[in-house]
Amino acid sequence: MTEENHQLCDYLNETLPTLSLDPETYLPYITGCLDTFQDEDDEFDEIIALLQASSESHSDDEQIWPKLKEEILRRYEEFNHEVEQQKKQNEDERRAIEAAKKKLDTEDAYREKERKRLAELEKTTKIDMDPAKKALIEQYAYDTSEIYDNDGKVVDQKASGKGKGKDKDAEEEPTSNKGLAEKINKEHSQQMRSGSQTTSKKDERMKTKQAKLDKVKQKEERRKKSTKGERKR
């Protein structure tokens, strides 16, 4: 570090003239010594002695020079401590960034591996599946079976509340091919029974209507016979 950019440059430029010392002449001695300073090094004491001998106003003052040395070293050590703290902080941040990047890379690699595994599993499953089962699943995988009421009409499942939660006695959707086939047969049987019940009710209504007509007809015939008997008298 040059004397122009040294951390003690401003302090020395302000202090040395008060001791009748030219900063341009003596500042390089001080900063150059501090850059290679060791705790047990006597070179800095020699620099302080040179400054005292060169001072025209304070050469005989035995108190000010030890204080100058102490203040210079304090500022120098304080600055170095701040530098070390900043280096440590920068190193910690660098390690944290590297750790986060490594974690993301690991997670990305795992997701890619899992994606390939699932794709391969799906491919293998399709290849090994029986053709009849495969066709059945593809046919009914996304179909929703219609439900009919007793009159043979399609029940609106949304209006009846389907999708808002399963009732206690509601049947679960089959998850196997066998269950799916059984459900289809059951729905077919229900439709057949519904049609039979509808036909039976219609026949009953026709029979009741015919019975009423017969009863009216019989009543009318009795009335006519009764009228003829009155006329004969």
> What is the pLDDT at residue 225?
75
Look at residue 165 in the predicted model and tell me its pLDDT. Answer: 46
55-69 burial, b at 16+ Cβ within 10 Å, e below that, comes to: beebeeeeeebeebb
147 with 154: CB under 8 angstroms? yes
Say how many C-beta atoms besides its own lie within 10 A of residue 12's C-beta: 20
The pLDDT assigned to 156 comes to 66
Predicted pLDDT of residue 164: 45
How do the pLDDT tens digits run along the chain, 233 residues long?
444 446 788 899 999 999 999 999 999 888 888 877 766 567 888 999 999 999 998 988 989 999 999 999 999 888 888 889 999 999 999 999 999 999 999 999 999 999 998 888 887 776 666 666 666 666 655 555 556 566 656 666 555 554 444 444 445 555 555 566 667 667 766 766 665 555 566 677 777 878 777 887 787 777 777 766 655 55
Amino acid making up residue 195? G
Task: Tell me the C-alpha distance between 51 and 36, whole Å.
Answer: 19
For residues 182 and 174, give the distance between their C-alpha atoms in angstroms, rounded to a whole number: 9
What is the structure's pLDDT at 166? 46
DSSP for the chain reads --TTT-TTHHHHHHHGGGGT--HHHHHHHHHHHHHT--TT-SHHHHHHHHHHHH-SSSTT-TTHHHHHHHHHHHHHHHHHHHHHHHHHHHHHHHHHHHHHHHHHHHHHHHHHHHHHHHHHHHHHHHHHS-HHHHHHHHHHSS-----B-TTSPBP-TTTTTTTS---TTPPPPP-SHHHHHHHHHHHHHHHHHHHHHHHHHHHHHHHHHHHHHHHHHHHHHHHHHHHHHHHH-
